[in-house]
Chains A and B, each alone.
Chain A
Amino acid sequence: MRFNLAFALALSLAAAGGADAAPRAPYGLGRPASAAQIAGWDIDVRADGAGLPPGRGSVGDGRAIYAVSCSGCHGQNGEGGYADALVGGKGTLATVKPVRTVGSYWPYATTLFDYVRRAMPYNAPQSLTDDQTYAVVAYVLFLNQIVPAGAVLDAKTLPGVRMPNRNGFTSPDPRPDAR
């Protein structure tokens, strides 16, 4: 929001003759993007929860949505099918047959919201409401025993959900064998 304010300020200053109030775009190509325009596509959610929309969803509501929109590919209880397993694999990452699921592998619960909102359900991406997305996320986390059956998730509570494999990653590019 503040960027658009800055832009509006620069425009108004320019109109008032304050030509050097803001650096000019080198080529003058493209059109200013308004906050309203940006909102149409600005769907990403960061690990700290930045970008999470208003709304909320419960495990109970998520169970019903999951049954209709998710279970066909991910299995009745997230065990997987046409698509990835969402549940299970706890304790397998250091074995010869690691099972990488939301519960065993994903470091951030917020990523689940981001991904479901942008790409799921597979046959109708970006069709769930924000409330439905919160609910499905809550249910998948419940299936992994990460949140309790009574959990209700929203922009405040979701970033606080601690994923079991949160500390399982090393970065950036830590490969000792890479150079």
Chain B
Amino acid sequence: MLRAGGAAAVGATMTASASRALAATVPDDRPLTVPTWTKTQGAPILSPAYGVPAPFESGVVRRARVRGRIPTAASSTTPLQDLHGIITPNGLHFERHHAGVPTIDPDQHRLLVHGLVERPLIFTLNELMRFPSDTRIHFLECSGNGSFAALPASATAQDTHGLISCCEWTGVPLATVLAEAGLRAQAAWVLAEGADAAAMTRSIPIAKALDDALLAYAQNGERLRPEQGYPLRLLLPGYEGNMSVKWLRRLKVGDQPFETREETSKYTDLLPDGTARQFTFVMEAKSVITFPSGGQKLGGPGFYEISGLAWSGHGRITKVEVSADGGETWRPAKLQAPVLSKCLTRFRAPWIWDSKPARLQSRATDETGYVQPTRDALVGVRGLNSGYHDNAIQAWDVLADGSVLNAV
């Protein structure tokens, strides 16, 4: 009944479906009682001024991804198994920081645009927010999500896939700001640099910069959270998360990639032959079933709706198939509207569980026709030391007692 790792907040760790299942097992024909909360006034407005989730949901939190020993160079994961729809609440957006979360005064923050431009410019936040804005919903996924790691049977969807989130982002198109500075003819790459203590830098191909890149200052209707780059971040839809540089302070236009540490010694994909793939930007089509998923428990045989998330950095998801027999047979899941480009898509499929062991899998196809690979196929090409861009099919094992485990 308890989720893995849920020692804290025991009362809140029972899933809603598990609670219903439990209630159904206790025959009780007494009249329904009228609880105290129906007989007393509730809390006044502004309790508190900035609303927070119900206390019973206190187990729905980000969790540290165990890796490394420096808490400011670490990551935390989104509790995918507890979320609904496609939007990640701002407080649950996954984190990956290389030098902690800086506290930046927006009035002092500046964006410098220079290099191969006609007019090197410095912008304040207020000036950036005066440009025509754009608002779009996109996923953001760390390319280390999955990372070919062998996780234990107790792993949850948060453990296996939690380095992805999806928000509505508002900002000014990068193309607009680059046009304001005036690109020179040789412009081919843009270096994006953060104002954090890592001064994080990545090289962005100019085609991407001019296509759909956003300089975002808002997330799900409010200004960015500090963990997401307040007051300004780059957002490169569909590209590996590291490139969407947070706390953005500088854009330098150049005629070649800048070969930064993050795009050479990190975020390159080592193959079995010892060579590594560089500039592997796009997050390929991928999916994961979030219910039933690792750490959850089914309350007994009967109807369940399999539900999950699918996404592709190449565009829209066109198909998700689910299998309940370990990949022997597949059937199409229903795609919940809206189905947006480079955005999480919620899928669902009805399922009658007969209380026999079952292996649940999902397989996504995107608008390019690309089909999410099996783990064997992916590892066959990349080996186990590729580190990034692990988009293999995930499997969950439902045991006879209803518990759900990461298939290992």
Contacts and interface: CB of A to CB of B under 8 A. Distances in A.
Interface residues of A, number: 57
A119 B197 contact: yes
Contacts of A108: 259, 264
Contacts of B261: 111-112, 114-115, 119
A33 B119 CA distance: 8
A98 B269 CA distance: 12
A148 interface: no
Contact of A3 (B117, B269, B273): B117
Contact of B260 (A82, A115, A177): A115
A122 B70 contact: yes
Interface stretch (A40-48, A54-62, A149-157): A40-48
Contacts of A170: 275-278
Interface residues of B, number: 70
A175 B389 CA distance: 11
Interface string A70-110: 00000000000011000000000110101010100111101
A178 B180 contact: no
Interface in A148-173: 168-173
Contact of A177 (B123, B279, B381): B381
Interface in B116-150: 116-123, 127-128, 130-131
Contact of B199 (A94, A98, A119): A119
Contact of A46 (B258, B269, B378): B258
Given A27-B176, A98-B385, A114-B260, 7 more contacts: A3-B117, A7-B120, A33-B112, A42-B114, A46-B259, A93-B274, A173-B280
16 contacts: A3-B116, A4-B120, A22-B119, A30-B180, A47-B256, A83-B70, A100-B265, A105-B265, A111-B260, A111-B264, A119-B99, A119-B199, A122-B99, A173-B282, A177-B377, A177-B382
Interface of A: 3-4, 6-7, 10, 22-23, 25-27, 29-33, 37-38, 41-44, 46-47, 82-83, 93-94, 96, 98, 100, 102, 105-108, 110-112, 114-115, 118-119, 122, 125-126, 168-179
